[in-house]
Amino acid sequence: MLRRDFLRLIGAGALIPWNAQLAFAAAPAADYRRPLVLVELKGGNDGLNSVIPYADATYYRLRPRLGIARDQVVQLDAATGLHPSLKPLWPLWQSQELAIVQGVGYPKPNLSHFRSIEIWDTASDSDDYLEQGWLSQVFGRNPPPRPFAADGVVVGSSELGPLAGGSTRAIALANTEQFLRQAKQMEASGGQSRNPALAHLLKVEGDIRQAASGLKSGYSFRTDFPKNAFGNNIKTAAQVVAANAGVAVIKLSHNGFDTHSNQLNVHARLLTELAEGLAAFKSTMQELNRWDTTLVMTYAEFGRRPQENGSGGTDHGTANAHFVLGGRVQGGLYGERPALTQLEGGNLRHAVDFRQLYATAAERWWGLPARSLFGGMFAPLEIVRV
Amino acid sequence: MRALLIILFLLPMPGFAAGMGYDDARHLLSRTGFAPTESEIQEYATLTRAAAVDRLLAGVHTEARTPLPESALEFVPRERLRKLKNASEEQRKAFLREQIEKSLELRAWWYREMLETDSPLTEKMTLFWHNHFVSSQQKVKSPVLMARQNQLLRRHALGNFGELLHAVAKDPAMVVYLDNVSNKKSSPNENFAREVMELFTLGEGQYSEQDIKEAARAFTGWSLDRKTGEYRFYRMLHDSGEKTVLGRRGKFNGDDVLDVLLAQPATAEFVTGKLWREFISPDADATEVKRLASVFRDSRYNTRALMRALLTSESFFAPQNRAVLIKSPVELVVGTLRLFEIHPADLRPVALAARNLGQDVFGPPNVKGWPGGEAWINSATLLGRRQLLARLFRAEEMPVASDDDMAGRGGKRPQRMAMRMQPDYLFNGPHWFSQFGAKGSAARQQVTRLVLATAPQETPPASSDNLSFLSALVLDPVYQLK
């Protein structure tokens, strides 16, 4: 039975208010009550200047203008440190709730923004083209419970990315209040169509109706949110969790990482916004007592080239460092430190396949059999404490 | 005798029975322009398909009729931007505000042209090339250079693709946008070389990373004069050595590389496929694309010849390809204003409205441009579209641009200013309806046929008044289709 039919059957307009008991009763094997929060660093974050191999002389040789001086780095151990702008993440590191995975990438890396993010979004091989986002693939096999307000919510961008395709119920919104205000005025047309464009319009109408019947706004957090675009997105994401209406995935974007020229100041600002935003998010989840049931993960199409370019910036690269945060995260360094003397075509070789991160979310976080996902070849990382 | 009469009836009558009829005309004009008016459709309905396409192509302009705003004429050297770093917070803010104002004026200028032009096809193609040879004000940071690029795209909109490609590669906004401005022999920047192959000519997968590296060297020194903002070649920064691109070897400069790309059959197919998806249907017919691409190549990249072949093709008019494309935000807002004969004095709110719906002209999201199609429609943009349309048919103040823009696009100030809607955005219902003559169900059928590309998902009740009837039509999901 199609989800839409089911909704009509039970009368989607008057859905029973969501509550924890219902969630428990309706939850299938997968535990989608524990949301996954994805943070896309759009444009390709410079991982090498985020998680810095400050003891490696090659790093400073490759980056005479951009290298972050040893005494500026927030040292994590004797070899690796964070960009000073990431200091707001230090408390998470200390409480072992921050895992840093280095060398995340895939074989035969593609250096185009669009193609590479498509590869990341669809969990495909470099030379394979898949239609559905990786979360839509996961949800296709194990759909989130039907009473959930939405399978996924995309905040601050209208690109659905990993939630694209399939029958995934993805809602894109700028902020919850606006969404609810507008949705209230919409009467869904209902019905179906063989015209794919019209069918898409009808599906989105149905998704809106269901999300609007579950989401709430106006939760009053004590946390102060950073006053920038990413801070606004973080605030909206926190509102979505606070509504407690059932949303398996929240996807956020932080824009502007394509730093081809004069990147020092821009990158420092971007990282400050990222770190302050993530710290604020942790604080809100603690207010809700949800930090232990929330997993945050960053991703991007690629890292940047180790050798800085002539414009004070960095060109498109390959393997990258990513952050995994949450109350149940086993903090520490994972993957491999960048091997700067063993570059391939000027770029880093990967040590961890990005699909291992996805398998970690699916298996270790939601409890799905990862063996059946992405060809079953990607072992989850032991990042989540049970 | 009787048989003779029947034969006479069946014979096409010159200039009348040979006409393609209302629905074909509506389809052709919707796809090649914005939403056509009733009188435009009636006029084209009497022409054959071929004659109609010829008339559209003959009417194309190479220049906009609307004069550019003053602020888009005087180039501000980037030095002034650089000096800002030392400026006070106040000066910097004032400068930024000025820039936002200027680029908003530029957007309004283009919307004026789209709304008033007698050749919507010219603007449609200019917009197509803007989404093909993408540059964005957000990086170029000069409304003047963006305006010049827009004029360039219009000049070649239905001209020669090869000439357009060569001109775009030297277009200052493009030189800045894809970093040729800092592409030097000592440290090549690959950005332009990569995108010219991936997005402008060959398409993904038709070249190697090595081709990009070699091509990047050929474009070294292609920069601009920082004082005038004109293209300038810096011989000292150019790598004049041998390069190998796509198997061809020589002491190539940038123009040589572009010719190598134009010589590849993949280029004509790539561009034709993209035009197919813009004008015919989301799924291109591979065989037909090959046929049309050969028309393109045989004409040495004459875009007009390609468009004539494409717009008169069986596929273009095929029933299964009607109402299968989703209107872009620009098509939705400009089309709605044209269709309902609303001509506001200030078009800045329209520019902001389309931006809120996901299409900021002069500011595409990235070098790949707007993905279009179903990607235009998600929960946020669909609700935004409905809100806009609902307000248009409600007799009250209409804030076109919403205060809560998709987060983080900046430019809040002019937006708030734009929110207080001028009365000239209001729709003159009685006047508009009078063109359909008789009242009653016949007129309503005619209105429905004009407003929607196919039957509505839900037919508005016959008892509704004219305005409610129209409001129901534009809020029907079918109104989003063209």
- Segment A204-233 shows an average pLDDT of 94
Q: What is the pLDDT of residue B87?
A: 73
Give the domain extent around A231: 3-376
Is there a single domain that holds both residue B269 and residue B250?
A: no
Give the domain extent around B359: 329-480
Report if residue B51 sits inside a domain: yes
Q: How many other CB atoms are found less than 10 A from the CB of residue B313?
A: 20
Is there a single domain that holds both residue B50 and residue B166?
A: no
Closest alpha carbon within chain A to B181? A311
- Segment A232-246 shows an average pLDDT of 96
Report if residue A381 sits inside a domain: no
Q: Residues 6 or more apart from A150 whose CB is under 8 A from it?
A: A169, A170, A171, A207, A210, A211, A214, A215, A246, A247
Nearest Cβ partner of A112 from B204, B383, B458?
Answer: B204
Q: What is the pLDDT of residue A56?
A: 98
pLDDT-above-70 percentage for chain A: 92
Contact A208 B383 (CB under 8 A): yes
Report if residue A382 sits inside a domain: no
Last residue in a domain, options B293, B321, B349: B321
Is there a single domain that holds both residue B249 and residue B128?
A: yes
Optimal mutation site among B383, B468, B482, interface A, most CBs of chain A within 10 A: B383
Question: Which H or E run contains A382?
Answer: none
Report if residue A76 sits inside a domain: yes
Report if residue B65 sits inside a domain: no
Q: What is the pLDDT of residue B4?
A: 52
Report if residue A384 sits inside a domain: no
Residue B114 near residue B137 (C-beta atoms within 8 A): no
Is there a single domain that holds both residue B138 and residue B210?
A: yes
Q: Name beta bridge partners: B160.
A: B302
Distance from CA of A265 to the nearest CA of B (A): 11
Closest alpha carbon within chain A to B203? A115
Residue B30 near residue B328 (C-beta atoms within 8 A): no
Report the alpha-carbon distance of residue B171 to residue A260 in Å, rounded: 20
Q: What is the dihedral of CA B345, B350, B351, B356, to 10 degrees?
A: 160
Report if residue A26 sits inside a domain: yes
Q: What is the pLDDT of residue A181?
A: 87
How many structural domains comprise chain A? 1
> Count of A–B CB contacts within 8 Å?
145
**Any CB–CB contact under 8 A between B182 and chain A?**
yes
Closest alpha carbon within chain B to A252? B407
Is there a single domain that holds both residue B368 and residue B447?
A: yes
Is there a single domain that holds both residue B366 and residue B243?
A: no
Is there a single domain that holds both residue B389 and residue B280?
A: no
Contacts of B472 in chain A (CB under 8 A): none
Cα–Cα distances in angstroms (integers) from residue A209 to residues A5, A108, A162, A214, in the given order: 14, 42, 22, 9
How many structural domains comprise chain B? 4
pLDDT tier, A2 (very low <50, low <70, confident <90, very high otherwise): very low
10 Å CB burial of residue B209 (0-12, 13-18, 19+) is middle
Contacts of B480 in chain A (CB under 8 A): 197, 201
Q: What is the pLDDT of residue B415?
A: 40
Contacts of A112 in chain B (CB under 8 A): 194, 198, 204
**Any CB–CB contact under 8 A between B434 and chain A?**
no
**Any CB–CB contact under 8 A between A111 and chain B?**
yes
Is there a single domain that holds both residue B412 and residue B435?
A: yes
Is there a single domain that holds both residue B174 and residue B257?
A: yes
Structure tokens at A48: 């090498």
Sign of torsion over alpha carbons B395, B398, B404, B407: positive
Q: What is the pLDDT of residue B139?
A: 83
Q: What is the pLDDT of residue B432?
A: 93
Report if residue B152 sits inside a domain: yes
Contact A196 B325 (CB under 8 A): no
Is there a single domain that holds both residue B449 and residue B352?
A: yes
Is there a single domain that holds both residue B232 and residue B125?
A: yes
Distance from CA of A215 to the nearest CA of B (A): 14
Tens of each residue's pLDDT in chain B, 482 residues: 555 555 545 444 444 457 999 999 999 999 999 999 999 999 999 999 999 999 999 999 999 999 999 988 888 776 666 676 667 778 877 887 888 889 999 999 999 999 999 999 999 999 999 999 999 998 898 999 999 999 999 999 999 999 999 999 999 999 999 999 989 999 999 999 999 999 999 999 999 999 999 999 999 999 999 889 999 999 999 999 999 999 999 999 999 999 999 999 999 999 999 999 999 999 999 999 999 999 999 999 999 999 999 999 999 999 999 999 999 999 999 999 999 999 999 999 999 999 989 999 999 988 889 989 998 998 888 998 998 998 887 744 444 444 333 333 333 344 433 334 455 677 888 889 999 986 778 899 999 999 999 999 988 888 888 888 999 999 999 999 99
At position B445, the amino acid (one-letter code) is: Q
Last residue in a domain, options B262, B280, B310: B262
Report if residue B64 sits inside a domain: no
Distance from CA of A232 to the nearest CA of B (A): 7
Residue A208 near residue B382 (C-beta atoms within 8 A): yes
CATH classification of the domain holding A298: 3.40.720
Q: What is the pLDDT of residues A71-105, one digit of tens each?
A: 999 999 999 999 999 999 999 999 999 999 999 99
Optimal mutation site among B30, B324, B379, interface A, most CBs of chain A within 10 A: B379
Contact A195 B324 (CB under 8 A): yes
Note the pTM of the prediction, 2 decimals: 0.80
Distance from CA of B7 to the nearest CA of A (A): 39
Which A residues in the span 252-291 are in contact with B, Cβ-Cβ below 8 Å? Answer: 255, 260-261
**Any CB–CB contact under 8 A between B85 and chain A?**
no
Contacts of A345 in chain B (CB under 8 A): 209
